A and B are shown apart, each in its own frame.
Chain A
C-alpha cells in the first residue's frame, strides 16, 4: 500500500467514525436542542469531515458538508433556538452525508436520493439566516489581514527565526481574552502534493477561524529548474503564527491526516511570556514537571498551608492499533499460556523439590495470567456506541410505524469483544424493528384497551450471565401467540403437530427460515427472512438466541454470546482415550442414566427418556469411528446439549472438567469435518477437538446396548 493509499484508508476509517458519531450526536441534540456544547461537537466533526473530504477529492461530500457546516456554525455562534423542522433537516442531512459517503467510496456517478432537495433546504435556511447580521463580513477580515501584513512586515533578509519571533511579539499585542496564540511548523514530506496536501490548504483551514494568521515559507531547498521536480514539495519548513479562538485540539484536527513528523503545534502561553514552546512534547514534559512539583507542593502543604497548589492535567495519549495486530498478540499470548501450563504441569519439573523453582513457576503463572487479562481487555469495548446507534433505529421505526415508543437502555458499560460488536449491529437492528413493528400493539388505542400506557416501551439491556454476555431486547407489547405459531408451523410443514414442544421450542420456531406470523408485511419486518438470518448471525458468533414471551405482557429476545471469540468455555470429555471439548454454552446437564430410561427404537437408534422427553443418544465413538469396547449408555456418561434440531445426549466415557481454552483453527484437511469447529492445546500439550454439537446426529443403526 502506498503512503497515499494508507492515508486514504485512514481517512475512510475516520470519516466513518465521524459520521457514526454524527448520527448519534444529532439525535441527542434533537432531544435537547439547547445543548450548544453538543452542537459545537457536531460542528467540529462536520468541519473535520469537510476538510478531509475535499483533501481527498470527495468533492460532492465536501460541498454538502460545507453548507451543512454553515448552518451549524450559524446556530452555534448565535445560540439561536433551532426550530423543530430545522432539527428534522439536521437529522436528514446526516442521512444524506452517510449516503454521499457511500457514493464517494463506491465511485457512483449519481448522487443519492434526497441530496439536491436537502442541499437546497440548507441553502434556503442559510440565506434566510444571513439576513440577520451576525458575523462580520469577509471584507473586514481581509482588511484585518492586510493591516497586519503591513504592521508586521519585515525585510526578506531577516532570518526566519527572528521574523517568527517578531510576529509572535506583534500578535501578543493584539491578543484578547478568548484568543489563543499558536506556532505551527509544517514540514510536509516531498510527496505531500501527490497525497493531496498543500501548505495553502492548511493555511486556509486555519484561516477560517483565525483572527490573524501569518506564515513564513523557507524556500532554501528549492532547486534550480535542472533539478526541480514539479510535483514534489521542496519547501523545507513553513512556520505559521495564528491567533484564533480555537483550542489546540481543534487546531490539531486540521492536520490529522498528516504524518506525525510533518507538523508540530505549540501554544504560545501568555503566562509564560518569555518562553516559546517548541513542540507538543515539550508541553507534555512541562506538564509532567509541574505535576511532580504539584506532588512536592502537596507534601510541602503538610508543613505550610501557604503554598498554592499548581493544577495541571497531563494529556492522555492514545494510539490506533490494527485489530489484526491485536489478534496476533492475542494468539501469541495464547501460546504463552499453553507454554506456561506445560511447564507448570510437567511431571519432570514437578518432582524437583526446590522452593525457588516452585516460586519462579508460580510467579510466571501470575504474570502470564496478568498479561492474558490485559491483552484480553484490549479487545473489549463498551457496548454503548452500538446501543447509541439503536436509538436512531428506534426513532426511525417509531416514525415509520406511527407508534409512540419509549426506549430504555441498560448496561451500556458492559464490555464485549470488538470483533463481535461489529457483527451485532445488523441482528440488533432487525430485532428492534421487529419488536416495534410486530411486538407492540398496532396503536395506542389497542394498548389503552389492554390496560397499558399509550406509549410502548422497548428495553435494550446488556449484562453478564454465567460467563457469557447477554444482550436482550424486550417489548411490552402483545407477546407471542403460541397457538398461532404452532398452526403456522404445521401449515408450513416445519412440524407435524405430534411433537410435544416446550414454550421455548415453540418460540424458537419463529426463527425458522421463511417463518412469519405477521399478518401484514411491511418494509421493516415481517417477511420471515429476518429472524433466521439473525439466528445464523448470532450462531456464527458462537452464541444463541433465547426467546421468552407472555401473551399480552410482552416478549424478550436475548442474544447469549461468549465473552470473546478467541476463547471458549468448554466441558472437557473423554471417549476412547481421546479428549473432546463441548462448548459449555450448549450444555444443559450431564448424568449417568438409569438402565430403565434407556431405550432402543428400531431404525431410530438409542434414546434416553428424561422428564417425559425422548432424547437421542449420540455416541462420540461412533461419530468419529473410534475403536473401543462398546459399552451400554448406563455404563457411560451422557451430556445433554441443546442443538438446532433439539436436544441430544452425547455419550462419553468420562467427564474431565470445565476449562477455558484458546481456539485454534484446524488445517484444511480437518476443516471438512463438520462435527468439529476447531482445536485447542491443553496444558499438558495434548490436543483436544472442539465439537460442533449442531452437526452431531445419532446413528440410526445402533447395534448394541440398551434394552
Chain B
C-alpha cells in the first residue's frame, strides 16, 4: 500500500487481515484521498476487499476508484468476475 499525495495505491491480493488493516487506515483518512489505484498484476483474494471498495465509493461518491468502474476483473484462478453496484 502506497500513499502518494492524494493517490492511494493498493494491491488486490490482500489477505483478510490486511484488508482489515487497510480499512482501519482508510476510515479516518477517506476525505484526504482522491483516488484509489490498484497495483498492476495483483488479483483479488477476498470478496471482502471488493465490498470495502464499494462501501468507500458509497460513502464518498467523488472518490475515484477506476478499478471499480471497470465492473469486471479476470484471473486465471477464478475466471471473469463482474460486480453490480446498482448505484
Interface residues, chain A, CB within 8 Å of chain B?
138-139, 141-142, 145-146, 148-149, 152-156, 158, 160, 163, 193, 198-200, 203-204, 206-207, 210, 212-220, 222-226, 228, 230-231, 233-235, 238, 242
Question: Are A219 and B85 touching (Cβ within 8 A)?
Answer: yes
Question: Are B82 and A145 touching (Cβ within 8 A)?
Answer: no
Chain A residue, CB-CB nearest to B80: A149
Chain B residue, CB-CB nearest to A194: B16
Complex Cα–Cα for A580 and B31 (A):
85
Chain A residue, CB-CB nearest to B27: A225
Question: Are A200 and B76 touching (Cβ within 8 A)?
Answer: no
Q: Return A236 CB to nearest CB of chain B, in Å.
A: 10
Flag whether B66 is at the interface (Cβ < 8 A). Answer: no
Complex Cα–Cα for A203 and B50 (A):
14
Residues of A contacting B: mostly: mixed
Q: What B residues does A145 contact at CB under 8 A?
A: 74-76, 79-80
- The range of chain B's interface size is 20 to 34
Given A145-B76, A225-B55, A225-B56: A163 touches B82 (CB 8 Å cut-off) = yes
- Partner among B19, B54, B76 whose Cβ is within 8 Å of the Cβ of A142: B76
Complex Cα–Cα for A216 and B48 (A):
15
Complex Cα–Cα for A203 and B80 (A):
10
- Partner among A146, A203, A204, A222 whose Cβ is within 8 Å of the Cβ of B54: A222
Question: Are B51 and A233 touching (Cβ within 8 A)?
Answer: yes
Question: Are A207 and B77 touching (Cβ within 8 A)?
Answer: yes
Residues of B38-87 whose CB lies within 8 A of A: 44-48, 50-52, 54-56, 58-59, 71-72, 74-86
Beyond A199-B47, A217-B47, A230-B23, 13 additional contacts (C-beta under 8 Å) are A156-B82, A163-B84, A200-B46, A200-B78, A206-B78, A213-B79, A214-B82, A217-B81, A219-B51, A220-B86, A224-B55, A225-B59, A233-B47
Q: Return B44 CB to nearest CB of chain A, in Å.
A: 6
Q: What B residues does A149 contact at CB under 8 A?
A: 72, 74, 79-80
Q: What A residues does B56 contact at CB under 8 A?
A: 225
Q: What B residues does A242 contact at CB under 8 A?
A: 79
The contact sample of 28 A-B pairs, CB cut-off 8 A, is A138-B76, A139-B76, A141-B76, A142-B76, A145-B80, A149-B79, A160-B84, A163-B82, A163-B84, A198-B46, A200-B45, A207-B79, A212-B79, A213-B79, A217-B81, A217-B83, A220-B86, A222-B55, A223-B58, A225-B30, A225-B58, A228-B51, A230-B19, A230-B23, A230-B48, A234-B51, A235-B47, A235-B51
Complex Cα–Cα for A89 and B30 (A):
56
Complex Cα–Cα for A203 and B85 (A):
20
Q: Return A194 CB to nearest CB of chain B, in Å.
A: 10
Complex Cα–Cα for A216 and B71 (A):
10
- Partner among A215, A219, A226, A235 whose Cβ is within 8 Å of the Cβ of B78: A215
Chain A residue, CB-CB nearest to B47: A199
Chain B residue, CB-CB nearest to A212: B79
Question: Are B47 and A198 touching (Cβ within 8 A)?
Answer: yes
Q: Contact flags (1/0) for B11-27 with A, using CB distance below 8 Å?
A: 00000100110010001
Q: What A residues does B50 contact at CB under 8 A?
A: 217, 219, 235
Q: Return A213 CB to nearest CB of chain B, in Å.
A: 3
- Partner among B19, B27, B74, B83 whose Cβ is within 8 Å of the Cβ of A146: B74
Chain B residue, CB-CB nearest to A158: B84
Complex Cα–Cα for A206 and B76 (A):
11
Question: Are B85 and A223 touching (Cβ within 8 A)?
Answer: no
Which A-B residue pairs are the 7 nearest by beta carbons? A213-B79, A203-B78, A156-B71, A142-B76, A149-B80, A199-B47, A217-B83
